[in-house]
Amino acid sequence: MKQVVLLIFFFYFFNISIFFFAFLQVIGLADGRCFCQVTGDLDDCACDVETIDDFNNNRLFPKLQRLLESDYFRFYKVNLNKPCPFWTTTSHCGLRDCAVKPCSPNEVPEGVRASSHNKYSAAANEHQTDCEQENRLGAVNVSLSNETREALLSWNRHDDEAERFCVVDDEESPDSQYVDLLLNPERFTGYRGAEAWQIWNSIYEENCFKPFTIKRPLIPNVLHSSAGNDAKIFHSWLEGQCVEIRAFYRLISGLHASINIHLSARYLLDDSWFQKKWGHNVTEFQKRFDADLTAGEGPKRLRNLYFLYLIELRALAKALPFFQRSSFQLYTGKVEEDQKHKGMMLDILQLARSFPLHFDETSLFAGDEKEAAKLKEDVRLAFLNISRIMDCVGCFKCRLWGKLQTQGLGTSLKILFSGRQIEALPMSDIQGPAFQLSRQEIVSLFNAFGRISTSIRELQNFRELLAEEQ
């Protein structure tokens, strides 16, 4: 009996050893392979990877990073205590690196705190006050009944919600707090496993218009996997879909890829009693993006990241007229700094507009007007649902950045599909613009694009690290 047990153990150990030897060989051959398929033209776009790399890394990225360090953009208001609306969560991640430190009231500039009640600027607010005083001097009593007032408020809320692709109720929630994004950077926290899996699984399986019979491509199981066959079936299905469905999936995949790049680039490399060292983890990056280790999915995910970059870049370019209005300020209460930072912001937006190969959003929701409107609403509701899923993320720091990045992408989509309203904007706010962005949307818009821009820049860092290893 002992001989049989020993024989079985030897056979099992021998096969496992062969597997791990082969796995190490694959890892050894992975250097540089993550990028071999991430070149040239992008699907559904008139652009290529190399053009984006040069534009982002050499021209836009440095300017954007400096802007995001300013007071207007570094403070983000968020409610991290909202319950998950879809399932019962057991905990909020006991890992110490998941913690988020909110700001005390005196740490947030007074102008930032006050601007939550005003969508535009201090100047616009003063003008509005003057007009209200003038109207009261000789005004006819046209006060509304309580019922009519409630109805108007309900209509206004409905009109605002009809434009939005994400939940924005954190702005006025009494449970919301300001967070300094520079003091709570996005990085690896140790949050993983079944709970994290449930988040992404819910996003892909329930909100990406995919039938349950089609399996999405996953990282292969180390001993056995049908991931390669599943991937072929999935991509065959995806290619058969309309451009809007393909674009929606690619945006979510690109966002997922960007987050994974951030976690690989700011990985906890050393956690000793006297120091914590964060840096690039090449092995972790390869596990997520190498073609062989991901059954060919890694390069596709990186290409989707570039697609997401084009979408958010196009939104910034289209939003330029909104920010160019003389009445709009980045109001923090520090006049000289606010003027300087608005100039920096407009410089970035002008640069975004100068990009030669923008995504053409008119290719989306074209054709039959009724069908296009229905599809657009389906997409909006699906993305709205994804923004709600962010309240189910168990790690507070992951929840913070997940909410910000989904809101930023939702704001980009809102801008892309509000082209006529933006083009019709008056250069003053006397009558009030038809298109509106709250400070919360503005901060998330620029910071979310900052994350995507950082991911593109980090790819260059990983290329160089992989080249050094070779």
pLDDT of residue 162: 54
Question: Where does 57-121 have alpha helices with state H?
Answer: 61-68, 71-74, 110-114
d(CA 395, CA 91): 9
Residue numbers in the chain where pLDDT is lower than 70:
1-37, 90-94, 115-163, 168-170, 219-228, 427-433
Name the strand (E) or helix (H) holding 149: helix 146-163
In a domain, 8, yes or no: no
In a domain, 321, yes or no: yes
d(CA 382, CA 248): 9
Contacts of 242 (CB under 8 A, 6+ apart): 375
Question: Which residues belong to the annotated binding site?
Answer: 187, 189, 200, 253, 256, 288
Alpha carbon separation from 44 to 191, 247, 251, 416 (Å, rounded)? 34, 8, 12, 16
In a domain, 122, yes or no: no
Q: Is 337 left (phi over 0), alpha (psi -120 to 50) or beta?
A: alpha
Question: Which residues belong to the annotated binding site for FAD?
Answer: 187, 189, 200, 253, 256, 288
Alpha carbon separation from 65 to 32, 182, 358, 448, 457 (Å, rounded)? 27, 11, 22, 12, 11
d(CA 76, CA 426): 28
DSSP 263: H
DSSP 333: S
pLDDT of residue 389: 94
Residue that the structure tokens 């616009």 belong to? 124
d(CA 315, CA 358): 10
Q: How many CB atoms lie within 10 A of CB 249?
A: 20
Alpha carbon separation from 157 to 77, 79, 161, 255, 421 (Å, rounded)? 20, 20, 6, 29, 18
233 class by beta-carbon count within 10 Å (0-12 exposed, 13-18 middle, 19+ buried):
middle
Name residue 412's amino acid.
S
In a domain, 442, yes or no: yes
For 65-181, list the strands marked E by DSSP.
75-78, 177-180
303 class by beta-carbon count within 10 Å (0-12 exposed, 13-18 middle, 19+ buried):
buried
In a domain, 18, yes or no: no
Q: Are 402 and 447 in contact (CB under 8 A)?
A: no
In a domain, 125, yes or no: no
In a domain, 444, yes or no: yes
Q: How many CB atoms lie within 10 A of CB 457?
A: 20
Query: Which residue in 229, 230, 232 sits closest to 212, CA to CA?
Result: 230
Residue 179's φ and ψ, nearest 5 degrees, are -125, 135
d(CA 370, CA 389): 29
Counting Cα atoms < 13 Å in the Cβ hemisphere of 249 gives 24
Number of domains the chain contains: 1
Domain containing residue 264: 34-112+148-469
The counts of H helices and E strands in the chain are 18, 4
In a domain, 19, yes or no: no
pLDDT of residue 427: 60
* Residue positions annotated with a catalytic role: 395, 398
Three-class SS of 418-470:
CHHHHHCCCCCCCCCCCCCCCHHHHHHHHHHHHHHHHHHHHHHHHHHHHHHHC
Alpha carbon separation from 159 to 21, 156, 163, 250 (Å, rounded)? 60, 5, 7, 28
